Structure 1
Amino acid sequence: MAHDEVNVRSAPKLDSEIISVISQNDSYPILEEKSNWIQIELNDGQTGWVMSKLIKKSEEADSDDNSMTTSDPVLKDKRVGTVGVSTLYVRSSASQQAPIIATLKRNYIITITNERNGWYEIDFNGQTGWVGSQYIINENSEPGSTQETIIIHDDTNIRSEPTTTSLIVKRAKNGEVFPISAKKDNWYEITLANGTSAYVASWVVQTSNQAISNMDSGSVQHKTIVIDAGHGGYDSGTIGTQGTLEKSLTLKTAKLLEKKLKDAGANVYMTRDDNFFVSLQSRVAISHQWHADAFISIHFDSFTNSSVRGNTAYYYSTIKDQKLAADIQSEIEKQSSLPSRGVLFGDYFVLRENKQPAALFELGYLSHPQEEAIVSTNDYHERVTEAILSGLEDYFN
């Protein structure tokens, strides 16, 4: 037999809670059969459900009592799933200690062929491997199973259509939960309390399949990241056409990035965490003090020609900095709706004088009226911080 353990669940569906794990050749009384599931009584008196295809009734083995033993837990009906975290490690077996054989990005579609103790065996790109089941969003769950989206930031926009320009019908609070009825591109269609349908962007929520604080990315775990929120205090930075202050946007973006990096296991230090002035020398000194594995400087741009727009990554040293800038900018290009101006050489003090790997990002033009409005939204901050996190994971891989 290929596997020797079977999950016992609280209800007869694959996304229900695992309450126990039983071993090969164990026997348990059968209480009820329902569809493709069997309810059993465990030794401690608990009752639970196992998939009938994973066990063998003792009467099928020439026994008279109504009990069962475990069988090979291979899923005969393959299921489709989608990667629900920014970076997911695929391992050679169902263990955190198993070798990593590949990495998959958010929204990558896989086929689930097997399940074992909180792990899925998957087919992807002609290969086979194992991933944590909590990081996969099931696309064709069993009838009656329901996925939920969990709001993780206050004032998250719930919209009438799956676009960032559609009508906001609700501002949800951190911790609110909504059933998911469908997925459309990078949006979830959800059901509100009054029964109406609405949409929330996938990049600003978690689902019930995901674990926020224990992602299997790991590539930023224990890395030291210094986040440099540009300007501050009497140095406002550029001022947008509608009066937006660069120093406020850089701090808001930096704080959101700080939270995401800490959730992913990184050691994070800020050059400033409030509206005060920090000299360029001090910013670099913080990078040196903490021996930063990456120094990320966040800015927003301006130009005399108000038609100029887009985001840009800058590096100083080709050897030390360019890969960091390029890996992050590549992810920003995927997540941001703004045009990319590429990865360019920049003779900036915080790059030039920095002994640690460093990159500076201009995340949009406040001198462009429409772009100023875009980069001031929570949606945009969510997108670019998610992109920076993914880019750092790529860089450390």
Structure 2
Amino acid sequence: MKKIDELKQQKNLIVFLAIILFISITAFSTIVLANKNTVKVDASVVNIRTGPGLSYDIMTQVVGGEKINILTEENEWYKIRLSNDQIGWVASWLIGNTEFSAASNKLGKISVETANIRSEGNLEATILGKATKGTELTVLFQQNNWTQIQYNGQVAWVSSDLIEITAEKKSIIPTSITAKKNEDASIETVTVRSEGTNIRNGPSINDTILYKASKGDNFTYLSTKGEWYKVKNSDGKTGYVANWVVDLSGNKTAAPSANITSLAEATIVIDAGHGGEDPGAPASNYNEKQATLKTAIALSSRLKQAGVNVILTRNSDEFVSLNQRTVTSNQVSADAFISIHYDSTEIPNEVSGTTTYYYHENDKNLAETINKQLQVNNPLPNNGTRFGDYYVLRENSQPAVLLELGYLNHTVDQATIYTDSYSAFAVESIYQALNNYFSS
């Protein structure tokens, strides 16, 4: 009898251990499955939008270190669940990006001629750079007469006596995105923003994919159904494309347009002037085409580090027509087109310094923002912002500027341009200017 009881106890123990093991495995599997689609936000601030596209409003923002659960993916956007169970969308290319967005509690403006930007909130801290009067900076918070700010993609400090708080952050109120349900004659062309965009046989993500369109592909607009456009390609084939993955020609009020609030969400075309059979301005060490390509590649690398979608009109010593450069900008609906050049004059040593050119009045703000940054700690003279009747500006329907970053036949300019420190200055100045431009 005793032996039978012992066997029963052993059997019960085995059953109990089996149940415990099953529960442990189930719990572990649940944790693994939960963590499989959980990502940690590395960026300082990331926008969460009401739909899968830049055209949708910002519903909230998450800060670095917060975990979000990915539910599904659509056209390079993640549908996510936040820690408070809110559902929203985030651009897939921003996850893991270390770039700051425009989010902050306040904006501040430098109130003195020149202010030192420091690594910490004290006078002994390293000076990271200088900001000129009127420069707008995103303010994080203030303490002990020091103001913490966003500067050159990092956290920095400036004395509170040197900065004036100009505006509170606007509250973000989610609003629904609506589109005209009937045909809108003001829309002519629909242009695809991303590579591999789905063209479907109906106005829903559940409809069959007919084929995938390439970035920059243009379609003839036919009609609107909900948040989808019926379009026709050059072969006469019709289909539907989601309105949040395309840009429109004609009346932009016909559908939501991209609402970019940070540099990381932008598409930047960098145009290295000249190339191939067109050497540009000659110099003793190398021609303009070599100098522009070196700067363009360095700038591209800097922007890509911040998660920016960068397109180079050329990345080698090849000839690219002026028309093709503008076509590239227009096809991808660039948020900014930056043409890099180095100048020269008929008489050596006649003129020195940098100049920023624009053609369309709407592009003046971009030009002035870049030129303002090029004035800070520039070892060369700054010749200001000027109107320039250049083909790549005149025929460009996107925001465009042309930068002359020095004179190759000026003794001082030439010696300066060839240094690594000047290259770093030019690249960082343009980067910071673009960061300010899209944040504002």
Q: What's the TM-score, normalizing by structure 1?
A: 0.50
Whichever of the two has the greater Rg, that structure is 2
Task: Identify the structure with the greater strand proportion.
Answer: 1
Task: Identify the structure with the greater helix proportion.
Answer: 2
Q: What's the TM-score, normalizing by structure 2?
A: 0.45
